[in-house]
Amino acid sequence: MGSYGVANGPGYGFLYNGSSYTSLNVPGASITDANGISGNNIVGDYFFNNGSIYGYNGFLYNGSSYTTIAVPSAGSTSAMSISGNNIVGVYGAYGNENNAFLYNGTSYTTIDVPGASSTYAYGISGNDVVGAYFDGTTYHGFLYNGSSYTTLNVPGASSTSAIGIDGNTIVGYCYIGGGIESFIATPVPEPSLLALLIVGAGTLLSRRRCCDL
């Protein structure tokens, strides 16, 4: 699952089942991005332009039809990850999608790290949500369990962004020594710390409209 483009043409999402590729294209959209998958359900975003209003809407694809995911009054919405019936993503003015949301299939709830000027939700597993937030100086990862936030900082990194979660395992990227490194980590009891394995420079930098570290 991911996205691809053709020269001087539109962009598409895709699903790969281990042997074949299926293109994903929201009807009428010039760009479709697939960002997350759970079972048969895929979430992502697509670009719309009716001549006077343009931006991104999120979508949910169940294998046969597309449903738009759009935070009310938001100029742009991107669905980033899905777990069961819960979807997380980012929303805001087009080009400035710096707010996070949780959608349970019925209603939208804002995810807002206390004291942060911007919050981004990128991954969900069960009730746990991960992402990044900006405190006015730098970016930190976070883990939200539905009631409280835990800051995630890779030791020695100048900034950290958590991108995905599966059970108790978190992946993301960070800046260490002026370079971008990806990590696989599990939270440890000490607040704000991660037990991690660096897995290579830049290998997880695939999400569009993520925070600009």
Residue-wise pLDDT for 113-153, tens only, equals 999 999 999 999 999 999 999 999 999 999 999 999 999 98
Residue 74: per-residue pLDDT: 92
What is the tens place of the pLDDT at every residue in 172-213?
A: 999 988 889 898 887 655 555 566 555 554 444 444 444 445
To the nearest 10°, report the CA torsion of 90, 36, 203, 135: 20
Q: Show me where the domains of the chain are located.
A: 1-111, 115-213
Check if the beta carbon of residue 148 is closer than 8 Å to that of residue 140.
Answer: no
**Is residue 114 helix, strand or coil?**
coil
CA distance 174 to 156: 10
Residue 202: per-residue pLDDT: 47
Give phi and psi for 43, each to the nearest 5. Answer: -120, 155
Per the listing, tokens 């590729």 go with: 21
pLDDT band at 168 (very low <50, low <70, confident <90, very high): confident
Q: Which two tokens stand for residue 127?
A: 């009730």
Strand boundaries in the chain, DSSP class E: 2-5, 11-16, 21-24, 32-38, 41-49, 54-61, 66-69, 76-83, 86-93, 96-103, 108-111, 118-125, 128-134, 139-144, 149-153, 159-166, 169-176, 179-187, 192-200
Q: Is the per-residue pLDDT at 73 higher than 50?
A: yes
Beta-bridge mates of residue 143: 130, 150
